[in-house]
Copies of this chain bind each other. A is one copy, B any other.
Amino acid sequence: MSESALPTLNTWVEIPKNSDFTIYNLPFGVFKNKKLSPRIGVAIGDKIVDLSVLDQEGFFSSLFLPEGIFMNDSLNELIALGKAQTKKIRERVQNLLLEENEELKNHSARGKVMVNRKEAEMLLPVKIGDYTDFYSSIEHATNVGKMFRDPENALLPNWKHLPVGYHGRASSIVVSGTPIHRPKGQFKDPDMEKPAFGPSRRLDFELEMAFITGKQTKLGDTVSTGEAEEYIFGMVLFNDWSARDIQAWEYVPLGPFLGKNFGSSISPWVVTLEALEPFRVEGPIQEPEVLDYLKCEKSHSFDINLEVFIQPEGKKASKVCTSNFKHMYWNIAQQLAHHTVNGCNINVGDMMASGTISGSTENSYGSMLELSWKGSKAVPLEDGEERKFIEDGDTVIMKGFAEKDGIRVGFGEVAGQILPAKN
């Protein structure tokens, strides 16, 4: 599928070594800066291509786009144009950035088009309608099952038959860089006679990725695994902050609620499925065989390296986890097919997260719950620090990138600092 080497593309934009934002990537985001109101851009190296200026200068005239489509504080309207159009926009931008293309390179508007990424503030890229969180890593589900249920029967009976998922809170999804206050809530540890109220004592991250839907369905309609990628615009990194003590007390029988909905953080640049195409890999073998509606004609797994760092306030960041998106047992096509098989309708801008992405080795676990094995052992950081869970002032940084044949397509990062609980 992705066996053929990509054609080498050269750009006139300077691309720093190991940049996530190469000519092969070109993710979409929403930004503003001191002078510019919110608008849509594409990241390349340390720059942002201001698509609204490109549009004003007539560079998209052959695409007949709606007026002002890039002068927008979310990608929703752009995405809603449909994949045929957004693909053409991305290809046009790629073409304009090629070394051999002089249209923009030698254009008087070039300075206005190319905005410094450092000076830009990234905004939440989409207005999220509904948010769903899956639970699709077999390693994560097994670890949690071992810790909280039966080590011999760690996976619940339904787990290998369907991509378990639940609805989350859309309103509290924030863009990278937004600090989050430690949540307060009820908890009752096994040794407590009755529940108590206070700041969470076991605050955690969950390393996830999420896809953003780009096409709506009507109530009653379904999306097959074969059609699914037509409905997926792109992906982001997703930190599903979790308060383990609140979650443990509240979640029976209807699932996680306040242990999750105090905040989730996403990376600002939406990497398109087109950019991820070269990194498509075979997914894990699913045994027992899945029901027909979950079967796939082709692979929908992607080889994306993932890393998590913890940075205590004023100190160095330490890597605590190295994982990969390809570990996911259930893929994005199966997730979307399952979600809609009952007729549940989706809208442009819905977000569906993977669930914690753990690998099989101890350093690949995607949460402190697993890394510290329920708080039973400290995870060493640099500078003599150690952590069982996240402390006030800590910043959690997640990075993700795909790399093959010298070609890199990355997500940048999602970072968020935990502030003390509010009084």
A166-B167, A254-B255 known; A262 vs B344 contact (CB < 8 Å): yes
A130-B169, A219-B174 known; A342 vs B184 contact (CB < 8 Å): yes
A234 interface residue per 8 A CB criterion: no
Residues of B within 8 A of A346 (CB): 171
Q: Contact check: which of B167, B186, B188, B257 meets A169 at CB < 8 Å?
A: B167
> Chain A: interface secondary structure?
loop
Q: Is A220 a contact of B345 with CB atoms below 8 Å?
A: no
Q: Is B254 a contact of A171 with CB atoms below 8 Å?
A: no
Minimum CB–CB distance for A167 against chain B, Å: 4
A261-B342, A262-B342 known; A293 vs B254 contact (CB < 8 Å): no
Q: Is B250 a contact of A181 with CB atoms below 8 Å?
A: no
A64 interface residue per 8 A CB criterion: no
Q: Is A165 a contact of B254 with CB atoms below 8 Å?
A: yes
Q: Is A344 a contact of B171 with CB atoms below 8 Å?
A: yes
A162-B250, A165-B254, A257-B165 known; A170 vs B130 contact (CB < 8 Å): yes
Residues of B within 8 A of A350 (CB): 171
Copies in the complex: 2
A197-B293, A249-B158 known; A338 vs B167 contact (CB < 8 Å): no
Chain B residue at minimum C-beta to C-beta distance from A342: B183
- Give residues 305-350 of A contacting B (CB, 8 Å): 338-339, 341-347, 350
Residues of B within 8 A of A133 (CB): 254
Minimum CB–CB distance for A252 against chain B, Å: 6
- Give residues 286-306 of A contacting B (CB, 8 Å): 288, 291-293
How many residues of chain A have a CB within 8 Å of chain B?
A: 64
A156-B253, A195-B291, A291-B197 known; A169 vs B344 contact (CB < 8 Å): yes
Q: Is A339 a contact of B258 with CB atoms below 8 Å?
A: yes
Chain B residue at minimum C-beta to C-beta distance from A129: B171
A56 interface residue per 8 A CB criterion: no
Q: Is B258 a contact of A255 with CB atoms below 8 Å?
A: no
A12 interface residue per 8 A CB criterion: no
Q: Contact check: which of B130, B252, B341, B345 meets A158 at CB < 8 Å?
A: B252
Q: Is A168 a contact of B170 with CB atoms below 8 Å?
A: no
Other A-B pairs beyond A166-B257, A171-B350, 9, CB < 8 Å: A161-B194, A172-B345, A180-B220, A184-B341, A196-B291, A219-B262, A222-B422, A255-B255, A261-B344
- Give residues 139-170 of A contacting B (CB, 8 Å): 156-158, 161-162, 164-170
Residues of B within 8 A of A157 (CB): 188
A113 interface residue per 8 A CB criterion: no
A130-B171, A257-B167 known; A183 vs B293 contact (CB < 8 Å): no
A369 interface residue per 8 A CB criterion: no
Chain B residue at minimum C-beta to C-beta distance from A199: B342
